[in-house]
Amino acid sequence: MIRVNEIKVELNNNIDFKNEISKKLRISKNEILSYEIFRESIDARKGNVKYVYTIDVELKNENAILKKTNFKKSPITKYISPNMGKLKLEHRPIIVGFGPSGMFAALLLSENGYKPLVFERGENVEKRTLSVEKFWKEGVLNTESNVQFGEGGAGTFSDGKLTTRIKDLRSRKVLEELVKAGAPSEILFKNKPHIGTDLLKEVVIKIREKIIKNGGEVIFNSRVNKINKEKDLIKIEVNNSKEYITNNLILAIGHSARDTFEELYKNEFEIKQKPFAIGMRIEHKQKMINKVQYGNEDLEVKLGSAEYHLTYQTKSGRSVYTFCMCPGGKVVASSSEKNTIVTNGMSEHLRNEENANSALLVSVYPKDFESEHPLAGMYLQRKIERKAFEVTENNYFAPSIRVGEFLEEAKEKKESVYSIESSYKPGVEKVHPKEYLPDFIVDALKEALPNLNKRLKGFSDFDALLTGPETRSSSPIRIVRNLESFESTSHKGIFPCGEGAGYAGGIVSSAVDGLKVAEKIIEKYSNKL
């Protein structure tokens, strides 16, 4: 097939792709045998909104076209499993955590006959949904199963965003498996694909069922509380009772597995501090974002709710940026420890809620931590989350403030309700961020907001809402691993993996890392127990 880039078409529900391809290649439509959309994006510059396509085309006389034009063959995207090793596998591989990295490691191992055993501290997604909703409605937190812990990981209760910066053929494998499990086929070609929390819940169930059908086992409500290495064997203790043995342990823990981080530190794993980011969620009316981005708020019907991504560098050199933007979504309570406040964003597939929200984050570096302890970044997160809980003086209500009030702008306000209402449940209380965020974060946000408004008019409107804190954008640590074998540098046979270990950021990159680690086990061992 030949890859054809930059096919621009007007907004139309009935696009004649063969006609557009023939014009681009300057050939007859009869020469086109088949085509497949590889990428679809939107060009909204200058108010003239168009679709932009990259299409792979099969032609009758492909070589002739290649010789007389600058077009090239389509890259190979098919994933090929690694060759199986010969070393005898003494025990089943064990995976700790069933987020994207653990899930896709388990999927690949099970597809190749290795029958992995997976332990997930949280509940399956059906029961987990009930626990999360109880927290949002009643403020009753299940510390073992919540927005952070449970089947599918933290990404299950987000937007199901599948954008990634990594250039890895395994990404295609991840997307194709998601589609096989029920995700919309459009994620294979959308420039900024997403599934949505509502659909993602069903997808992870299908992947779990496939792993089990292939001989794997997934055990929920099973927290791994001890990990010990004894010669060539790794022993884990689950729920302070039952012990399991393996030669290959994949640590696919999430970025919120703080008790596991402390257990690893106690057992002298090599752990390093890592930069991350802290900030707040910012909310606007989605119609306002649509109007600014598309030039016409009514284009939402054809294009869906508009997105944005903004960055700014402060005078001190610190980055401020939007992250995990949720069009037509809501801000959600995401605590995993009692008496803490953590916020995140979530959208369902249709992205049709009234508000848009995004994290507005400030870069945090090891120099900002209070000590050189490997877990100092984690302790900083916890300190902020506990302070945010204390200052609201209400059961898991989040501290919130209008942008105009945060920037100390003057505005005459009527007694009526503000135009933007917080989507956060259980609720919010008016609290200035200086009451719970470090000064360097508050100062960076104050400097950035007016400047970001120059990039997206209305971003820093008086009535926009800031709700915080957002502390879990990425892991505060890196569990150091060998660059070749992916094993822990201090504990052979243990594979730190995914976002919690500090090697990924987001659903796709975490899933890809899970595939990479599983490949290392497959390349070394036979699947015969």
Q: What is the mean pLDDT of the chain?
A: 93
Residue 512 or 299, more confident: 512
Average pLDDT over residues 479-485: 97
Q: What is residue 103's DSSP assignment?
A: H
How far apart CA 523 and CA 521 sit, in angstroms, is 6
| pLDDT score, position 158 | 81
What number of H helices and E strands is found in the chain? 13, 23
Residue 520 CA, chain-centre distance (Å), reads 24
| pLDDT score, position 61 | 86
Does the structure show a pLDDT above 80 at 418? no
| pLDDT score, position 414 | 46
Segment holding 452, helix H or strand E: helix 439-455
3-state percent breakdown (helix, strand, coil) of the chain, nearest 5: 30, 25, 45
- How would CATH label the architecture of 94-272+476-524? 3-Layer(bba) Sandwich (3.50)
CA 271 → CA 94, 274, 364, 481, 501, distances in Å?
21, 9, 18, 9, 9
Average pLDDT over residues 3-18: 88
Residue 478 or 168, more confident: 478
Angle value at C-alpha 409, between 408 and 411, nearest 5 degrees: 130
Q: Which residues pair with 4 in a beta bridge?
A: 55
Range with the poorest average pLDDT among 23-27, 254-258, 261-265, 271-275 = 23-27
The contacts of residue 288 (CB under 8 Å, 6+ apart) are 297, 458, 461
Nearest to 109 by CA among 260, 212, 225, 263: 212
Taking only the tens place, the pLDDT of each residue in 390-415 is 999 878 999 999 999 999 876 655 44
Average pLDDT over residues 191-219: 95
Does the structure show a pLDDT above 90 at 456? yes
Does the structure show a pLDDT above 90 at 209? yes
Domain coordinates of the chain in residue numbers? 2-73, 94-272+476-524, 276-411+418-470
Does the structure show a pLDDT above 60 at 117? yes
Taking only the tens place, the pLDDT of each residue in 350-381 is 999 999 999 999 999 999 999 999 999 999 99
Does the structure show a pLDDT above 70 at 50? yes
| pLDDT score, position 77 | 85
Does the structure show a pLDDT above 80 at 301? no
Spell out the SS3 assignment of 409-424: CCCCCCCCCCCCCCCC
pLDDT band at 417 (very low <50, low <70, confident <90, very high): very low
Taking only the tens place, the pLDDT of each residue in 212-255 is 999 999 999 999 999 999 888 999 999 999 999 999 999 999 99
| pLDDT score, position 278 | 98
- The pair phi, psi for residue 309, each rounded to 5°, is -145, 120
Taking only the tens place, the pLDDT of each residue in 306-336 is 999 999 999 999 999 999 999 999 999 999 9
Measure the N-to-C terminal CA separation of the chain; round to a whole number of Å.
42
User: 2-73 and 94-272+476-524 share one CATH topology?
Assistant: no
| pLDDT score, position 46 | 62
Percent of the chain surpassing pLDDT 90: 82
How far apart CA 73 and CA 66 sit, in angstroms, is 8
| pLDDT score, position 410 | 65
| pLDDT score, position 68 | 80
| pLDDT score, position 413 | 53
The contacts of residue 109 (CB under 8 Å, 6+ apart) are 93, 115, 116, 216, 518, 521, 522
**Domain 2-73 class in CATH:** alpha beta
Percent of the chain surpassing pLDDT 70: 98
| pLDDT score, position 412 | 57
